[in-house]
Amino acid sequence: MATMTDLRLRQREYLLQIGRALTAQLDLGSVLNLVITYAVELLAGTLGFIALFNEDDGVLRIRASAQLPRESWPAFTPLLRIPITDLSLYGPQVLREISLDTGIPLRQMIALPLTVREAPLGVIYVFRAALNVAFSADDRQMLQDFADQAAIAVGNARLFQSVLREKQHLNALIEQSADGVMIIDGRWRITTFNHTMEQLTGWSRDEAIGRPCAEVLGIRDAQGVNICLNDCPLQRHPELANPVVEGRITTRDGRELFIQNRYAPQRNALGMLLSAIANVRDITAQKAEEERQNTFISVISHELRTPVSIIKGFAETMLRPDGQFTIEQYREALQVIGEEADRLARQIQDLLDVSRIAAGGLRLERSDVSLQLLVKEVVRRFAAQVDDRIEFEIRVPDDMPPVYADYERLRQVFTNLIENAVKYSPNGGTIRIGARAEGEMAIVYVADQGIGIPPEEQDLIFERFYRVDNRLRRDQPGSGLGLYITRAIVEAHGGRIWVESQVGRGARFLFTLPLSRRRLPGE
């Protein structure tokens, strides 16, 4: 009786130590080793092990052992394949075969399942070498206590691993987000700062974490006031579920950006801020596009209104009952009305083309086109309109092969490029239009000696509504659609367009078109 009492005291002490280990660490391997070591000792076993079901494939595998070297674990695989409910039937025979294979005398075995909320996690096994010392009901109850502790350890560890995996997954999503993401605490200090935020603000993660978000981000309104300091959206009333703020920031490396910051705050029952996730997006290009659209609407309204006003003015003048006009005056007035109507038609056509391009519906009617004849036709029309300071030079060789293109669309390309060359050559000069064959493509250019285009704007001029930022632009009419349409037409033909320019030394626009080739009937 004293022996059993002593055993119970030791069991209690061991279980307390396992309990302390469970609360002190989440290293599953260490806790399982402690459990099986104490279980084998208290049950006077020769050796033992704990096997767990793998979370991926469900196979039972040994995870911890006592008095059994790791290199011997594979020998017990046949035993692990037997369901615990069938161990009494098939276990003894398999145990004898394992004993013969390993040279370890194993004659008695006890095994109990590890379960948490009726979910099977694994099995704990203890073995004895003695022939006539079977495991008793007390031994089974004692092992059950250890099995319960092992199950708690496995459940806690797997829960911890699940939480850890979720945290790592969340951290990876935050880190790899295309938008800037930062998390602030209840004192508005940064606790998380992803890679995009580093690129966006110029602040490194190590420098930003721990600082107030108003210092790192410092969003300003149109008057230059720091919104974060003076009108933080997280402090506005009434409180919004996802407040949004937009404004300008100056990055640490001196860039000026327009950003949008959308918050997802967490508050306590009293409405006090606990933390907030800030999703920061660079909308500089979007704002520039909006500004160009607003400018375009203003410009195109003026551009459309001007010819309408002129047509209306001349028509009303000619209809005045007291008007006494000569045939020549009528002819001149009608000529102006016709020219303004053509101008209005071109502007409307440009708007229609933009709509077709946006919808992907720019259709081409291709045929063999002589570049030399087309260029001469377009130049002839311009030559009759410009003053003597502008000269045209055509450099298209007589033996230039025809291109396979839409004649009217190609004329539109030349008209837009030559019109720009004239418009941005206020001091005159020579405008050269040339072409040469290179492989299966024709390389065509329109060059002027005008004001030129700054390098930083050369990739932007083909964007919709964009106009080069200079004084001459403000003096010249235009909607900013010509080069956008020109690029769309060239690309629809399978070519590309680019510009070479130096400020004050003119610009040369180059584009490629497919040369004609022999085609089969119906092609």
9-37 residue pLDDT tens: 666 676 666 666 555 555 778 878 888 88
Name 377's Cβ contacts closer than 8 Å, sequence gap at least 6: 411
pLDDT at 504: 87
Question: What percent of the chain is modeled with pLDDT above 90?
Answer: 35
Note the CATH architecture for domain 2-168. 2-Layer Sandwich (3.30)
Give the largest CA-CA distance in the chain. Answer: 139
Which of 89-98, 123-132, 160-169 has the lowest average pLDDT?
A: 160-169
More confident residue, 197 or 349: 197
CA gap 388, 367 in Å, rounded: 35
Which of 26-40, 55-69, 130-144, 424-438 has the lowest average pLDDT?
A: 26-40
Every domain range in the chain assigned CATH 3.30.450.20: 180-282
Task: Report yes or no: 431 and 421 within 8 Å, Cβ to Cβ.
Answer: yes
Q: Is 160 helix (H, G, I), strand (E, B) or coil?
A: helix
Sign of CA dihedral 52, 55, 60, 64: negative
Every domain range in the chain assigned CATH 1.10.287.130: 287-358
- CATH for 366-514, options being 3.40.50.300, 3.40.1520.20, 3.30.565.10, 1.10.150.530: 3.30.565.10
For residue 369, what are the β-bridge partners? 403
Task: Tell me yes or no: is domain 180-282 CATH 3.40.640.10.
Answer: no
Q: Where are the alpha helices (DSSP H) in 266-406?
A: 284-319, 327-358, 371-383
pLDDT at 360: 66
Q: Is 113 helix (H, G, I), strand (E, B) or coil?
A: strand
CA gap 12, 6 in Å, rounded: 10
CA gap 327, 340 in Å, rounded: 20
Query: What is the residue type of 65?
Result: S
Query: What is the residue type of 62?
Result: I
CATH topology of domain 287-358: Helix Hairpins (1.10.287)
pLDDT at 297: 65
DSSP 400: P
Query: What is the residue type of 307?
Result: P
| Placement of tokens 């039972």 in the chain | 60
Task: Report yes or no: 251 and 314 within 8 Å, Cβ to Cβ.
Answer: no
Which of 192-206, 344-358, 471-485 has the lowest average pLDDT?
A: 471-485
Every domain range in the chain assigned CATH 3.30.565.10: 366-514
> In the predicted model, what is the mean pLDDT of residues 165-182?
85
Sign of CA dihedral 380, 367, 353, 395: negative
CA gap 361, 422 in Å, rounded: 30
Could you tell me which of 248, 244, 258, 256 has the C-alpha nearest to residue 290? 258
Label residue 467 by pLDDT band (50, 70, 90).
low
CA gap 118, 78 in Å, rounded: 25
Is residue 66 pLDDT above 70, yes or no? yes
Every domain range in the chain assigned CATH 3.30.450.40: 2-168
CA gap 35, 50 in Å, rounded: 9
CA gap 277, 219 in Å, rounded: 16
pLDDT at 357: 67
CA gap 268, 275 in Å, rounded: 10
